[in-house]
Amino acid sequence: MWLDNPRNPKAPLAGLKVLELARVLAGPWAGQILADLGADVIKVESPDGDGTRKWGPPWIEREDGAREAAYYHGTNRGKRGIVADFKNPDDLARVRALAESADVVLENFKTGTLAKFGLDYEVLSEANPGLVYCSITGFGQTGPRAHEAGYDFVIQGMSGFMALTGEPQGQPMKMGVSISDLACGLYAVIGIQAALAMRERTGRGQHVDMALLDCSVGLLASQAMHYLTTGTNPPRMGNEHAQVSAYGVFPVADGEVVLAPANDGLFRRLLSLLGREDLLGDERFTSNEGRLANRAALDALIAGETAKWQKEELLAECGDAGIPAGPINAIDQVFADRQVIARGMQIELDGIPGVRSPFTFSDAELALDRPSPRKGQDS
């Protein structure tokens, strides 16, 4: 069942065999990244199929008239697909056989579920000692919540993300993408590749235990350090930066822009560009500490100047001066951006649009050769 020849011999993971027992987002996201990197990924679905096939609109219609949700196609590119009912002995035997010859098994069932079918790491690794088995769950394989289901929205709330996101006086907000799922998928790929590298030294595989909550807590970065060093919760600041000023969203005559002069030199350049050299010697603004203490006054002064400019003119001048600045793009503007176009981020496979994994190699290629599989197309 595995491919005899790599999909693209120049892809970094060409020849790697990945069995995906995953659905919805975090697991399939990891599987799609591995597929883009050249792995032969076989996606196993239940007879009902991955539920995201029906998560529309919007829909994508194939040439033969089959219709699936765009959501499904956003996370299943490059894979082959089979259908298996784990309660059917023949189907179960087939999946076990695939696992016994796989390099990687990727699954996102609730903790303990696959053990009922002999598809857990302990059983599969007896027949395949080199197997790297990656489990993605809400809370991991251990701890008091290990057997609970995990959902991105819930994890965003539990992890502190929502307490940090939104306007200071407004309601806590989730992010505009399923960041807990997506980050866990990314971390899972890193963990899988680390385990594969270790297998080269030891000859043994291992179980990689990934939890949405762990991954989200791991992304708290400087905000976690704020709490760990001061014992106080970092505030919710909207578009402002806790450690840098002036840094945020500012008005222009035809909209808004992001300005991010993150050090003294860049800030002085911005004042000069805006024609406010008179503020260069103002003691309130000569240091970042002073700018933070006088944030409201400074933001008002800068906003008063930027409002006199047209967006494109100000951004062009900032670019020439080396001042970090940018537009606030809607998604259509993102894919019309000349840099995004130049980097080839938008792709199309058999008439189905997508966004490539953002890897660019000097001596390797991505394997972008097939769209998401139809349900059971390789059974």
Instruction: Tell me which of 181, 209, 214, 299 is the catalytic residue.
Output: 181
SS (H, E, C) the chain: CCCCCCCCCCCCCCCCEEEEECCCCHHHHHHHHHHHCCCEEEEEECCCCCHHHHCCCCEEECCCCCEEEHHHHCCCCCCEEEECCCCCHHHHHHHHHHHHCCCEEEECCCCCCHHHHCCCHHHHHHHCCCCEEEEEECCCCCCCCCCCCCCHHHHHHHCCHHHHCCCCCCCCCCCCCCHHHHHHHHHHHHHHHHHHHHHHHHCCCEEEEEEHHHHHHHCCHHHHHHHHHHCCCCCCCCCCCCCCCCCEEEEECCEEEEECCCCHHHHHHHHHHCCCHHHCCCCCCCCHHHHHHCHHHHHHHHHHHHCCCCHHHHHHHHHHHCCCEEECCCHHHHHHCHHHHHCCCEEEECCEEEECCCCCCCCCCCCCCCCCCCCCCCC
Question: In 3D, which of 16, 20, 15, 18 has the Cα closest to residue 43?
Answer: 20
User: 264-273 and 311-321 helices cross at what angle (nearest 10)?
Assistant: 130
Known catalytic residue: 209?
A: no
Catalytic residue positions, numbered: 181
